Chain A
């Protein structure tokens, strides 16, 4: 049997992964690796993966065979920014959780997007803090019961993709983990057609342990549910408020190819000081 295409991008010695049985992180990894393969990327020598703390942050570290920096909780984006600015030749990808990137690291996310920093950020919205046992996150649905919202979540979730689409970021998309092909193609686009500036992909993938199992469902049943629940943003826009709340708007929120931070910075310096 031929080897799975993803294996060459993995550190085989650390497999299997540490994720819970049925965890959707595996589907994302598959999509990521298929995107690499289809883009003809043989190895990840010139890629640097940066992640924070959380289950999602474990995807690159230690599983992906590339340079990786497993940083502090919330600080993946500034570390990635430092790497990219110091060596713009490197392809820098951040992978992390909704707690990591939108809560404790939310300010960095906003500002990297505002700067149109030349990074690809993939955020796994699993609706909770998975690693620390399922507490409420900024993405937790209104009313959901978690260890920190035992009487129901009084807060409303943050629409991270829409917020980032409101900045100068070049590319913003959101996909459900059930939308494998568009997700894979979106990652490809964010590495090829839109290869500069800030690119943000939110992956909606409820935590199988702390969301799905609490609902009494299997990961497979939940996937089937997501296939109905996740709809294209165009359809979602025409829905009533109540209908919207029952669905997840997915698709490409924004796709531009403006010069990123690095090109702009270099341009200003070249103008003032002459070509370097």
Chain B
């Protein structure tokens, strides 16, 4: 059943999540993400799901962790300050291999910053916001339609790899309203349950995430955020258990990078002038590239894990590289890993809800 709806990115996320099978939502109000919560409160009960308004974001993230273990696909949505409060819980989800989707509708920070104004300042936090060695997946949509399509993808990745997925969306997309085709999910990843002999926290091949037991089915599962062996027993002293665990949790993501990492090329694929971008800065970039020609746009959909080999390949032979960002420079660090920093032109702008205009990009392209 395909429907054409006029939706904001925030609303599109709700319908996408429901079509992905999300049946539990816990959240705490915060601009510019609250519409997700409002619509979830209304829609989830209609499909037999459960909604709860948590007392704070610490509760919200931990509630969705509990619900996920009880067998429901679960998500929350927030913005900068709330995302900061959720970090410890996200780290716990990484350590316990709990599938979750966390939407961060980005506003200008730090601190309360500008609550209603778009930004891209949480990129590094989404990747590295937790203590310890930990790896998760970060995805960024570019349009409300993609908010719908990619949130389904986010749930599939969360389930397939037993990992929290951060859905990093600019306020411009969250509040931007466009036609969204609600086309339903092509495929949904179904959680694999273990047999009695399969450990819930280990696998021989680190690329294959362990199956996930569901609470209440006699598995007597031990879930802990402390270092544990493949059956969940704590080992807070040994080198081997810890090293093996955190290495596997990393490899589970990075060794599947070919399956997880997605990007898209726009404009002239052979051009030596290249714009690298994600989220809301991509449409002005594509527009600029089309207007002046001779420009390729490399648009990252997956922001983590980032395939640096692919990035290097796409930038090999580049003449000028432009990185527009609604922050003071974060994505540029990735580009600088594969291309000389001195030859990268940056456009940084943040605050006041002002986008990066195509004309500004053109100016840099032609300078």
Contact = CB atoms under 8 A, between A and B. Distances in A.
B48 interface: yes
B216 A111 contact: no
A65 B70 CA distance: 17
Contacts of A90: 70, 215-216
B331 interface: no
Contacts of A107: 55-56, 58-59
Contacts of B232: 62
A68 B231 CA distance: 12
Nearest to A76: B62
Given A71-B225, A78-B62, A83-B69, A65 B215 contact: no
A20 interface: no
A66 interface: yes
Given A70-B225, A82-B26, A48 B215 contact: yes
A129 to B, nearest CB: 17
Contact of B66 (A14, A46, A62, A69): A69
Interface in A255-276: 265, 269, 273, 276
A122 interface: no
A80 interface: yes
A72 interface: yes
A68 B222 contact: yes
B224 A81 contact: no
A87 B70 contact: yes
Given A68-B222, A72-B88, A80-B66, A273 B45 contact: yes
A215 to B, nearest CB: 30
B220 A65 contact: yes
Contacts of B26: 78, 82
A181 B346 CA distance: 72
B67 A85 contact: yes
A45 interface: yes
A273 B46 contact: yes
B337 interface: no
Specify which of B52, B54, B62, B218 lies most central, judged by the most chain A CB atoms within 10 Å of its CB: B62
Nearest to A90: B216
B350 interface: no
Interface in A71-101: 71-72, 74-75, 77-87, 89-90
B361 interface: no
Contacts of B225: 70-72
B109 interface: no
Given A70-B222, A90-B216, A75 B58 contact: yes
A48 B220 CA distance: 9
A65 to B, nearest CB: 6
Nearest to A48: B215
B74 interface: yes
A67 B92 contact: no
A153 B200 CA distance: 45
A47 to B, nearest CB: 8
Contacts of B66: 50, 69, 78-86
Contact of B52 (A65, A77, A81): A81
Contacts of A265: 50
Given A75-B62, A82-B63, A111-B55, A87 B71 contact: yes
A72 B222 contact: no
Contact of A14 (B46, B88, B233): B233
Nearest to B232: A62
B58 A78 contact: yes
B221 interface: yes
A133 to B, nearest CB: 16
B50 A86 contact: yes
B219 interface: yes
A146 interface: no
Contacts of B62: 71-72, 75, 78-79, 82
B250 interface: no
B89 interface: yes
B224 A108 contact: no
Nearest to B55: A111
Nearest to A58: B234
Contact of A75 (B45, B68, B72, B89): B89
Specify which of A83, A107, A265, A269 lies most central, judged by the most chain B CB atoms within 10 Å of its CB: A83
Contacts of B201: none
A81 B63 contact: yes
B69 A276 contact: no
Per CB-CB distance, the 5 closest pairs between chain A and chain B, nearest first, are A82-B66, A86-B70, A78-B62, A82-B63, A86-B67
16 contacts: A11-B220, A62-B222, A67-B219, A68-B222, A69-B65, A71-B65, A75-B58, A78-B26, A79-B63, A81-B59, A82-B70, A85-B66, A85-B67, A86-B71, A86-B72, A87-B70
Interface of B: 23-24, 26, 45-46, 48, 50, 52, 54-56, 58-60, 62-72, 74, 88-89, 92, 213, 215-226, 232-234
